[in-house]
Structure 1
């Protein structure tokens, strides 16, 4: 017997689950055409499925334009709730078929630009060769963004994570180094101590959170010294900063995991090795769910292995 004070429950059937899957696919792929291709449907079939779902729920889930689709507030809440559940259903089905550990399907990853270019890109072909049923789309940027609305399966970023509903897994810590190219040092001389940077062109990097240039810190024997630095160049992505530094445009503070090859082959020279005790973490982020899919776990393990070898 149903309690008169309880809210009526919406019956769950195959069509409802199917329409929810279509919605999640639209969010993951970014538009109706790509969702249709991924699901083996026509774009009009995808549109009808979304329309049926909106009619059944009595709310608009997507804002449509000629070029893109965006979730409404109601749509964001729905996807945040059902996305992990649908993933769990998929994992359960794979487990029942004895294929729970299969690394396959399409995965969208968001990476720090320099980590992507210098650490991941040189080894990605080997990772895909080991997992021939996997397809990867890489988005590079410094900001984490909204993984759910953008359909990101996993993101890898440097820095301490802010509080959020995302799962954050710390992968490792890497040192912060001060470096310059031999050509820059030949033209301007090598600073002997951090205080000598006052007379050098220091490439400034804008903090994506505060929107201000990062302060330059130097850690030695537990003591932190902050140095005011200046320079004619301010950048917003780490890959550009790296390119400028290698080209001799100035001194930069970088993460060791991303520049080890450049240090080994002489493209960059480490300055002040006695002041390089500052550590910076590398994290993997993915939407909250009980178990990350095998493709996500495999990619995160791949990033950890690369970073430790770099």
Structure 2
């Protein structure tokens, strides 16, 4: 096993205190984290964690190794950055950025403001969901919703994906609130969000069932357009909480079925391919996006 990667997995596990959560955030299997820790314990000849069926606690020896490992990893990264010729020469050129429909969060404004001292960095901004496979392969930095794949990407998690079902006050006045998920599915007009890759509608996801709308009242591949149909009272819909919370605070939307809200094992996160690990201009844009998203969700939590 690669010793450097094993140390990275160990440090991540020490930070989270949970092997399964570490695997989820890094996009690896729980077994990979377990194997890395076991490998290091064999190398060092002492236990790094005390584990049972319910808890995982780092040992005093593990804390010593963690402190040294964090320092060593930081020095390793700094060494490559300091002596990499590409790093010294990479402050000029394009950075292709891919985002879902989140421009209203002020991300573009934050990135452009942060790049005011780097006029030779050229943002190539690709917002929306209509990216071909070729486009995706050429992305330098992006924002994505899903399970982070840390094997191939450096990631910065921003927020978990919590799903809420919402209706406009006008639609609620006409139909009343659904009594259950089954009632919502059978009796209420629903928006259908189209997956342009498969041509099928995305499913509504609840703790005990999933379903795709059978006779949607509005169909669009664009999440913003689907939300607009809900705001106009044409249909109910299920959306990420970060999408609907501003409208809920303004009274333009109401939550329904609160006991059936779902938090998926997905994250909204910023990513960059590991092949760009030491490319300065890519890292600058990555850090600006991560900072802007962190600030946005901090402000959302505070005001919500």
Superposition TM-score, scaled by structure 1 size: 0.57
C-alpha displacement of 1:307: 3.2
Q: Work out whether residues 144 and 155 of structure 1, in 8 Å CA contact, stay in contact via their aligned partners in 2.
A: no
State how far apart, in whole Å, the 2-side matches of 1:149 and 1:261 are.
Answer: 30
State how far apart, in whole Å, the 2-side matches of 1:120 and 1:146 are.
Answer: 27
Match of 1:234 among 216, 219, 230: 219
How has the CA–CA distance of structure 1 residues 147 and 301 changed in structure 2, closer, same or farther, with 3 Å as cutoff? farther
Rg comparison, structure with higher value: 1
Match of 1:257 among 230, 242, 250: 242
State how far apart, in whole Å, the 1-side matches of 2:126 and 2:284 are.
Answer: 20
> How many matched pairs?
208
Q: Work out whether residues 156 and 283 of structure 1, in 8 Å CA contact, stay in contact via their aligned partners in 2.
A: yes
Q: Work out whether residues 270 and 289 of structure 2, in 8 Å CA contact, stay in contact via their aligned partners in 1.
A: no
Who is 1:247 aligned against? 232
Structure 1 segment 90-239 matched on structure 2, within 5 A: 90-93=86-89, 107-113=95-101, 115-117=102-104, 119-120=105-106, 124-125=108-109, 128-134=112-118, 136-142=123-129, 145-146=132-133, 152-160=139-147, 165-197=152-184, 198-219=186-207, 224-227=208-211, 229=213, 230-239=215-224
Who is 1:289 aligned against? 276
Superposition misfits of 4+ residues, deviation over 6 angstroms = 147-150
C-alpha displacement of 1:199: 0.9
Match of 1:305 among 274, 290, 295: 295
How has the CA–CA distance of structure 1 residues 258 and 300 changed in structure 2, closer, same or farther, with 3 Å as cutoff? same
How has the CA–CA distance of structure 1 residues 238 and 137 changed in structure 2, closer, same or farther, with 3 Å as cutoff? same
C-alpha displacement of 1:91: 2.3
C-alpha displacement of 1:202: 0.5
Q: Work out whether residues 190 and 216 of structure 2, in 8 Å CA contact, stay in contact via their aligned partners in 1.
A: yes
Whichever structure has more helix as a proportion of its residues is 2
The CA RMSD over aligned residues, in Å, is 3.2
- In structure 1, the gaps of 5 or more residues are 1-84, 95-101
C-alpha displacement of 1:93: 4.7
SS at the partner of 2:235? coil
Who is 1:53 aligned against? none
State how far apart, in whole Å, the 2-side matches of 1:305 and 1:90 are.
Answer: 31
Who is 1:60 aligned against? none
Who is 2:25 aligned against? none
